[in-house]
Structure 1
Amino acid sequence: MDRAELGAFLRSRRARLQAADAGLAPGPRRQTPGLRRAEVALLAGISVDYYVRLEQGRGPRPSDQVLTALGRALRLTADEHAYLLRLARPAFAPPSGPVPANVLRLLDRLDDVPAMVINAGYDLVAWNRMLVALIGDPAGWSPRRRNRLRRLFDTGDKITGNRLELARLCVADLRAGGRYPADPVVRALVDELLDTSPEFARLWAAREVVVPRTLTKRTVHPVAGPLELDCEILAVPGHEHRLLVYTAAPGTPSAEGLKLLLTA
């Protein structure tokens, strides 16, 4: 059980709520934003002392009933509640390893849309020909450049479109994955970016938790022109890998742009 992160996460979720959000009277003027600890305890049906100890990282392992009550009191999303449960009940994380053969076969069959496979640390580990046409050939890149998260926070890397939005969602996804700090690869990546990127440090400190299933990527390609692509993120059961597939709505300029890439 990660008591320190559990306490920090509870504090961050409490700070974002106002009394009115929880159906409470505003009461006397507040010196700090968010609900008071006593108000969270009241809403969750637990003692103030117990809740204070949880926030301070001193409390015992909370029961599932208490965690569910805290999730309701703090208005957690489904992804945030899953993260809260994971902090209190660390689950087995799929080990690192090669991309499963069936995923590689599927990747090869996706010959008319860009697609790639990333691991838990956001390393690009497999891709198809259409992805090469979209972003260039990762085979010629250094291992560091093949890390998608590093590229989003590399100020010297010219990434157009909605980079800031994608960066925020990817940081929230990295935290939601629950591999930090137990996975040494993820921990090293986070520590590196905390040291080198104030933007990453700000997003990481916000403790946003989101598991994106669909993203929108906007970019300008030198051949295909402006592109707005929907990215479907498909988890590989029992493995750390995820398959990302980029498509465009039929009849749009982006769909025509993908056709240009197909013949390039």
Structure 2
Amino acid sequence: MSPGDEHDYGEPTGTRMRLPDSDPYGGARRPGRSSSRSLVTVVGVVVLLIAAIAFANRGGDDSESPTAAGEANKPETAATAASGTKPVGTKRGGIPSGFARTEQGAQSAATNYAVALGSTGMFQKDTRHGIVDTVYTADAAAKLQAPMDRAYSADFLAKLGLDANGDAPEGNTFVSRVVPVGATVQAYSDTTAKVAVWYLGLIGMSGENSTDPVTSSWQTWTFDLRWADGDWKIVSDTQTDGPAPVPGDDKVASSDEISKAIQEYGGFTYAR
């Protein structure tokens, strides 16, 4: 599936992902695995749901002083090094808010919004509505809510192992996280910004009998932002695969280890 394609919101489909040959959680493989695998990815779920709004709405003195030389060696805003800017101090609906009207502020906003949109809260109606209303412009959010409600149908949730309310079965832990690696500004003005966020996505069901173990994928999420209501808000967004590093030789964790890690390790407020 390529980002930006138009889709039928009757049932979401996602980016295909290769899973281990054997189930690390010890459960039997589910028949027809290829169709469900296409659903189990952070990118696929969100890209499908937001595709509908894609069409909506750098002469001076030749001499160099020691101070000037030091400034020249400092990393640019878009460099790998962190800027040193402190995270925002406020939240709205549990999501960081009040970002600076600067390039760094736009990067921080896009990064934190990616985390929110990749969370388990998106699979439950009430929290999903709150997230969308918080991170998108009012116009974009209004156009997204109904298509999203249709896409997150009971049938779709069931394919992920969730009940109609988006809850995991007793003894299981549903995992959906976006872990940002970096961000860069592709375009910027006083009122708009285009920011790309490179991230690692985790999604799946952790449990002894799970046939959809937690897997990872690498994606780049690009956000078109607008300054609205005193903060950066998303107007539209797209996703692409990778860049993905070569997988390491890490030992696959058990379902108990994954569940414990998800419960014990919380997220961050990201600042550029």
Settle same-fold status: TM greater than 0.5. Answer: no
Larger radius of gyration: 1
- Higher RCO structure (Cα 8 Å, ≥6 apart): 2
Structure with the higher fraction of residues in helix conformation: 1
TM-score, with structure 2 as normaliser: 0.28
Structure with the higher fraction of residues in strand conformation: 2
TM-score, with structure 1 as normaliser: 0.28
